[in-house]
Amino acid sequence: MQQIINFIVRNKNFLLYVLLLIISLAFTVQSHTYHQSRFFNSSNWITGNIYETTNGISSYFGLAKENKRLVEENKMLRNLLFNKKISTPVELDTTNIRYTIVSGKVIKNSYSDPRNYVTINRGEKDSVQPDMGVITAKGILGIVENVSNKFATVQSILNENSNINAKIKNTNHFGSLIWDTKQYNTVQLVDIPRLVPLTIGDTIVTGAMSSIFPENIPIGTIKKFNLDTSNSFYHIDVTLFNDMTNIKNVYIIDNINRPEILELESNTFSNDQ
């Protein structure tokens, strides 16, 4: 007993070091295989407020550009609205709403790590929940991962854990959108079968398989494509529409039918067992 105590006293620095290292490695390895930790992320109260304060100052510098971008978006939406043939006055059918939208602002963005997360200034009190989709005016941004009262972290599509259902526009050939961590303006679309005719410049949009994003949200265009090692699927490089280094205003999409879809799917799965 005496010897054990002596050993601990003699090596207390080393033991402390090993203990702290194991704690941090445990957190890290867990995040490699699974999601961000529930508590240690930048959506918490302290970091969120610090980011929001500094963002309140720095956002003035890009205000003119951001306004211009919003006007462009309005212009596009007006174009759509005026050119659509609607015989009766527009009336929102509230019994048939599938998606609700919350607007938000990015207060922290990163794009140089293998696992990038974006922090936004909307949280539980704005009815944002984990697993909601986040888009900008130009295309998709990511999926909400952790939520605090006032803030939320978003797993960006520039994250090696990201995996989003996507398809080639005007077809029903779908694949998974992943990121190889190399360039921040290029993501990869895999699992598109070989027989699909592809052209460089084709548009990639979100697919209908996901209960997170609505169908046909723009993602990017095909930059180049080649067959993967098995020679039966394409490996496609997609240039993003979004400039991931410069995003400010985002929209958070809530699919009202998602709980129902998930419940149905889990029931089906358990029936199969």
Partner 1 sequence: MISSSYFINVVRFTLLVLVQVLVFNRLNFFGFINPMVYILFLYWYPIKENRAVFIGLSFLLGFFIDFFSDTMAIHAASTVTIAYLRPAIMRFVFGVNYEFQSFRLGNATKAQQITFLALLIIVHHMVFFALEIFSLANILLILKKVLAIGLSTLVLCLLFSSLFSVRKE
Q: How far is Cα of residue 206 from the mean position of the Cα atoms in its chain?
A: 12
Q: How far is the CB of 30 from partner 1 (least distance, A)?
A: 8
Q: Where are the beta strands (DSSP E) in the chain?
A: 99-108, 115-120, 133-135, 140-147, 152-159, 164-168, 174-178, 186-193, 203-206, 218-227, 233-240, 249-255
Nearer to partner 1, 154 or 168 (CB): 154
Q: Shortest gap between Cβ of 181 and partner 1 (angstroms)?
A: 8
**Residue 131 DSSP class:** T
Q: Is 242 in the site for partner 1 (CB under 8 A)?
A: no
The token pair at 252 is 């958070």
Nearer to partner 1, 16 or 81 (CB): 16
Taking CB under 8 A as the rule, does residue 215 contact partner 1? no
Closest CA to 43 of 142, 155, 138, 132: 155
Question: CA-to-CA distance for 247 and 116, rounded, in angstroms?
Answer: 14
Binding residues with partner 1: total (CB under 8 A): 39
Instruction: By CB under 8 A, tell whether 27 contacts partner 1.
Output: yes
Instruction: Tell me if 153 sits within 8 A of 41, measured CB to CB.
Output: yes
Site track for partner 1 across 128-167, x = CB under 8 A: -------------------------x--------------
The length of the chain in residues reads 273
SS3 content of the chain, % helix, strand, coil (to 5): 35, 30, 35
Cα–Cα dist 32/115, whole Å: 9
Task: Assess 231 for contact with partner 1 (CB under 8 A).
Answer: no
Which lies closer to partner 1 via its Cβ, residue 22 or residue 256? 22
Q: Among 114, 200, 265, 266, which residue interacts with partner 1 (rule: CB under 8 A)?
A: 114
Stretch that binds partner 1, among 10-18, 94-102, 124-132, 203-211 (CB under 8 A): 10-18
Site for partner 1 in 36-55 (CB under 8 A): 36-37, 40-42, 44, 46-47, 50-51, 54
Characterize the bridge pairing of strands 233-240 and 152-159.
unpaired
Residue located via tokens 């240039």: 239
Q: 247 to 266, contacts with partner 1 by CB under 8 A?
A: none
The only residue of 6, 11, 24, 127 in contact with partner 1, by rule CB under 8 A: 24
Interface positions with partner 1 (CB under 8 A): 12-14, 16-17, 20-21, 23-28, 30-32, 36-37, 40-42, 44, 46-47, 50-51, 54, 108, 110-115, 117, 119, 153, 184, 245
